[in-house]
Structure 1
Amino acid sequence: MQVTREMFNEVMAPNYNPAGFIPVRGQGSRVWDQNGDEYIDFAGGIAVNVLGHCHPELVAALKEQGEKLWHLSNVFTNEPALRLAKKLTDATFAERVYFANSGAEANEAALKLARRYALDNFGEQKDQIISFKQGFHGRTFFTVTVGGQAAYSDGFGPKPGAVEHVDYNDLDALKAIISDRTCAVMMEPLQGEGGIISPTDEFVKGVRALCDQHNALLIFDEVQSGVGRTGELYAYMGLGVTPDILTTAKALGGGFPIGAMLTTAKIAESLKVGTHGSTYGGNPLACAVAERALDIVNTREVLDDVKRKEQVFRDGFAAINDKYHVFEEVRGKGLLLGGALNKDYQGRAREFLVAATEQKLMCLVAGANVVRFAPALNISDEDIKEGLARFERAVERVVNG
């Protein structure tokens, strides 16, 4: 069967508009399409391919587990899931883990747990969930409602209730709305889709204090910021603030679908048998790959190198910007970076993405005004240099029309 990009329009639902080429093979931070053209990957599958494409140790873990056990259902447990859960609890504040298949599912579990915990401990009147405008927490109806972008949640009928939004980094706005009725505050410790926005120190510590004051759980959505992305295993570790619930996915499986919700033993008690579940959650294949990815990433060597590479990228963007004057600032932390376009290029982020693709570079956008980069944490200096050269040519094309 000959597979072409045109086939997408014939057989797939039209909710995506993928690039005109079809990638067929990847190695490290390089990708090849059907024609054999080579691309450098600064997108990382949207912060997923934490160790690049086809990392030999992840491939080996998948092959090894693939010869043993694929699926059981949660009538049974399995060794890879237990090992991964033990390593996650050893490495974080958490004492209990719930496995799912995606970030949205991990967030769905976190929100359901927060509501159930409040009901068990304080009564049914404590049901308000507060999150932040331009936040993103997934595409299930509950998570998209909690996410602060109406464009994603409108048009599907009545939304889940008792969900309210305030501006990110506006502590006074949160103070005005939080109360003893609040069961949870959900936030990204580094907003991704919303434009690569870091929290101020005052804000993130203030959110924690307000949650404590009102017996509300603090949920950190670390689906995009977790597993080494910021140069810490999880972003909360660099902020001096510990959440009550943390969600992780994307990079956790290094490209194999998996999500997890992490919390304390006390809070987890509200997920009694039968309250929540997932057919595939804790799948042996996914957990085996994720365990290996976690082992590799959670080393000082890899995490420190993320911080070094951040500076390499920032220096490269600064040099490009000195020539072409397109960015107002470069935001973000570690290897989750966003070039925020200045007033002359407002609304044109996608043009930069398209131009980059033409120069054989894969990158992302975060809204209409930010070009987003989330490469593999182990991307080589050589690939960074070549990718930046390609990006410079793309910028030149946009600037010169």
Structure 2
Amino acid sequence: MSVEIKVPQLGESISVATIAKWLKQPGEHVEMDEAVVELETDKVSVEVAAPQAGALGNHLVSEGDEVEVGAILTTIEAGGSKPVAAPTAPKSVEPPKVLEVEAQITETHQPMPAARKMMEEKQIAASQIGHGTGKDGRITRDDVVNFVAGGGSKPAVANVAAVSTRRDDPREERVKMTRLRRTIARRLKDAQETAAMLTTFNEVNMSAVMKLRSQYKDAFNKKHEGARLGFMSFFVKATISALQEYPAINAQIDGEDVIYRNFVNMGIAVGGPNGLVVPVLRDADQMSFADIESNIIGFAQKAKNNQLKLDDLSGGTFSITNGGIYGSLMSTPIINMPQSGILGMHAIKDRPIAENGQVVIRPMMYLALSYDHRIVDGKEAVSFLVHIKDRIEHPERLLLDV
């Protein structure tokens, strides 16, 4: 019995993915729930598994192609054998408007399925867009979106075309950016262009937290299986306390309105094989130290194994990133839009400071808060960091909620 393998639901507001890599070839035997193809979306990579054991059919789409939710990727035949010939993908009967669009498409500028659909809706010809950014010059959905956003007055890939005329040095290697990396680049640029972004700094003495952690980490780890007492839970707790005191930093702008939240969904930036991702601790304000630590460990493991789901990455209201694990002493983190702020942690370094009229050596960390100045005032931002500094330097205040 033949079963179709389709593009699954990809999560909130995501309808298109790119075929990143075929993991199984036509005729190859696959087990039930074994991954056969890897899709790449704007946020994360997704593996599509076989719904039953059997022989894989022909690939109906190629690596680099864009596909929409519900599109057929291949089939799987229970007990089947390797196909003798590779049949072409079945063509459905299309309305005249589709045929008119296809008539305008040259062999070298063929749009991908998602791009073709949008071109039909917008009544745009392939010749208007020109050379696409997809594989072999194919027009992608992003090309159409950019063309429409630019008023349709010029090809959306003018800059790409200009870059392609560059004469590469024989010692150089040109590699196309992945969809995820292109999306990261676009979102970071959008954040800079949309938000009135500003960064303020402070420093925190880590002595008290380090002493408390050293004293109780063994008992904590023993009692809470799957959790290890680290510094991040202290900063999450301190940040939640500060967000409750200064709610504008946990809010977002929506048109001419400000949306204030009575909850905290904390994004925690972690490094994965395809770049930085920000999984979300939902209702972090209701979590214990152990809950926070175990969830962060789980996210880090998922990111390492490329197993994060789209739901893991959506709905954040504020984010924390820790460049200190890579040795960063100070940085200006970029806001994860549409959030209004992000806290940057950094490396802990022994430094001389003045304490009670004497110069002493203490383990110090620089903190950075990047915030959207459209909604957050400078006084709020500075007070926010001071609040976090105070709770880290006096962790008993976190336990007593004072």
TM-score (norm 2): 0.21
TM-score by length of 1: 0.21
Give the helix-richer structure, 1 or 2.
1
Higher relative contact order (CA 8 A, sep 6+): 1
